[in-house]
Every structure is written in structure tokens, then in C-alpha cells.
Amino acid sequence: MLSGLISEVLAHFAFARGWRLVAPAALALLAACAPPEPLRIGFLGGISGRVADLGLGGRNAATLAVEMRNKAGGIGGRQVELVVEDDQQDADVARKAFARLAERKVEAIVGPMTSAMAQAVVPLANEAKLLLVSPTVTTTALSGIDDHFLRVILSTTPYAQKSAGHHLHHQGSRRIAVAYDLRNKAYSESWLADYRQAYENVGGKILVAIGFQSSDQAHFDELAVRLLESSPDAVLLIANSVDAALLAQQLRARQPNLRLNASEWAATERLIELGGKAVEGMTMAQFIDRGSRQPAYLAFRQAYVDRFGHEPGFAGLTAFDATNVVLDGLAARREGQTLKQAILDRREFSGAQSSVRFDAAGDASRETYLTVIRDGVFARID
């Protein structure tokens, strides 16, 4: 079943990327020889704890991309091995995990998956000259820097700006209360700063912005009361899917018709699973269109669902793209050229849903979409 699906996906991606699939006779000849040492790439993300949905989606998509490349003959006749490390969304753990990946002589690392973990390991990557390609990190603190960190999505700025315009002009929300997660403040404070500037520039007012520590002991009932004390038109949640769902339940229990908005970090399938009716009508800007009918996306999604039993979500989509950027870069790298140079020389890569276009500093641009949770699914509204 998986072999057939991967073959179908390969047909789409081979055409888009110019791959030459290895013929069966050539594979047989290679099998008769001693297999060469595999090329190793790493994956670093939180695959346990409260934000595990993000890390697991990323790890699974990276696994699928590697399986597909190996099915196509690998890179230069060498198979690719994925080495996975769990950062547990803890800076010290992330640094130790990075060191273990470096010891394994990986060619690059797909990850991290959150801005806080990126800020913890980017200095180590620069020192080791080991490339990080992140699927989901958006903090502006890492923007425009010539370092060993690349990402396949935009920074927080365009998502916050697009959200601010929608909240005021289309929702009619002129007064907003904000809750933001301090455990990933590299992301949440960046997002909030961009949002504040954009929202206030178009006439909106942030009544209160309350930071909280994401944990099993977080008191979302008390936080909900504090957010509603200022009588806002809407509440904005800059948080992971679990915390956004739990806080939405507390807010809607007190004010059922309250407008709720969130940042793209919350927009995994787990948000809907945990939040239920409390997250209906919640809006957010995203970098995935789950309703896309593009053949490459449909083939990727089907292969992912059949392989892992759940939707890839935005983490799966962007991790699949990030892994393929690494693999394409390795395939294109010339003698004496670094992997970073190979990627930035090419600049544009075919993604599962939209192209990934890098600038000179390794920051990428791609399509963004406004979405709303409607009848238990994410639906585009732009």
C-alpha cells in the first residue's frame, strides 16, 4: 500500500523537481555491490510534551520525504538516513540533542519547530557550521542574518499584519485583549509586537496583553476572567493548540458569543479535537490551505495519512518541504560547495503546495491564507 502511494507521489515530485528515477536494472546492479555509507540528516523537534503535535507532524513528514527519496534511488547512489532527536521544548535538552546530532555527522538538521528552541541552538549551529532548516520557526529575532539558520516560511510579521487587518476591518473588532505564551516568548513576543504595530496603525486598541506560562498547572479559568474584565470586542490567543483550546473553553463558558482569534501556532488539528464547539468561529492566518486541490498536495496528503493515520497539518506540510530543500540541496551541491551555498544559489524550491523562495539571508516567502474554524474544519476565508 505504502509503496504504491509513494510511487504516485514520486510521479508528481519527480516532474516538478527534475528527478531522474533510478531504473530497476540500475537498482539491481547497485544492490549487488557493497552499500555505501548513508547520508545522514537530523530532525530536531518536540515530540513529547504539550506541543508534541507540532514535533510529531514534523518528524513524520521528514520521515516520509526521506522514504520517498530513498525509493527514488537516494542521492548519488547513497541512501538517506534520518536521525531523530526530541528537544522536549526545553533549551538545555535541545542543546544536548543538537550535540548528539553533530556527533553523528549529519549533513544538516531539519528543525527546530519552535522559536524558543531555535534561539537556543542557532549559536551552536553557527559554531559547528551545521545547517538548520526550520519548518515552522517565525521569530523576527532571526530575520535578515547571515548564519547557519534557514526557514521555509515567513517571519511573524506578515501573519500578524494580515490578522490585524482582518480583525478590525472585517470582524469589526476595535478593542482586543491578548493572551500570549511566555514559554515560547521568542515567538509570542515577536508576534505580539508585529500585531500591536499593525493593529494600532489601523485604529485598533489592545486593552490588555497578559503573558502566561504554558504548563499542566496553568490556571486558564483565572486568565479568562482577567482577559474579559476589560470588556474586549475579541480575544487573541498567541499560544500552542492545547493551551488555545483550553483557554477558549474557559472564555466561551463565560461569554458564548465572544469573538476568538489565534496566531498560526495554534492551528493544528489538535486545536479542533480538544476545543470542540468552543473554538468554532476562531480565525487565524496560516501557511497551509487544507482545501487545496493541487495534485502534488493531494498526493502528499494521501501518502501521509495512509502512512501515519492522521492529517499532516501545517507542521507536516512545512517539514516535508524543509526536508526536501535539504535533500535537493545535497543532490545539487558541487565539489567544494557548502550545503547552504547550494540551497541559496538555487533560491527557489517546489513545495507540496506552494513554492519556497529564499532571500540572501535564508528567510523564505510563501503563500499565506486567512482561515476560520467552521463546522469542525479549517476553511479559507480570503
Sheet holding 356-358, edge to edge: 348-349, 356-358, 364-365
Report field, pTM of the whole predicted structure over 0.85: yes
Residue ranges, CATH 3.40.50.2300, the chain = 2-154+291-365, 157-286
Residue-wise pLDDT tens digits, 333-371 = 999 999 999 999 999 999 999 999 999 999 998 888 999
CATH for the stretch 2-154+291-365: 3.40.50.2300
pLDDT in tens, 90-139: 999 999 999 999 999 999 999 999 999 999 999 999 999 999 999 999 99
pLDDT band at 3 (very low <50, low <70, confident <90, very high): very low
Q: How confident is the model at residue 50 (pLDDT cuts 50, 70, 90)?
A: confident
Of 232 and 9, the one with more pLDDT: 232
- The model's pLDDT over 13-40, given as tens digits with 9 standing for 90+, comes to 555 555 555 555 454 444 455 678 999 9
Tens of pLDDT, residues 286-328: 989 999 999 999 999 999 999 999 999 999 999 999 999 999 9
Average pLDDT, whole number, for the chain? 92
Per-position b or e across 118-132, b if 16+ CB within 10 A of its CB: bbbbbebbeeeebbb
pLDDT at 27: 47
**Percentage of the chain exceeding pLDDT 70:** 91
Burial class (CB in 10 A: 0-12, 13-18, 19+), 328: buried
Task: State percent of the chain over pLDDT 90.
Answer: 87
How many angstroms separate the CA atoms of 91 and 358, rounded?
27
Q: What is the helix (H) or strand (E) element at residue 370, kind and residue range?
A: strand 369-374
The pLDDT of residue 5: 47
CATH architecture of 157-286: 3-Layer(aba) Sandwich (3.40)
Looking at the predicted structure, is the pLDDT value of residue 236 above 50? yes
Over range 133-150, report the average pLDDT: 96
pLDDT of residue 268 exceeding 50: yes
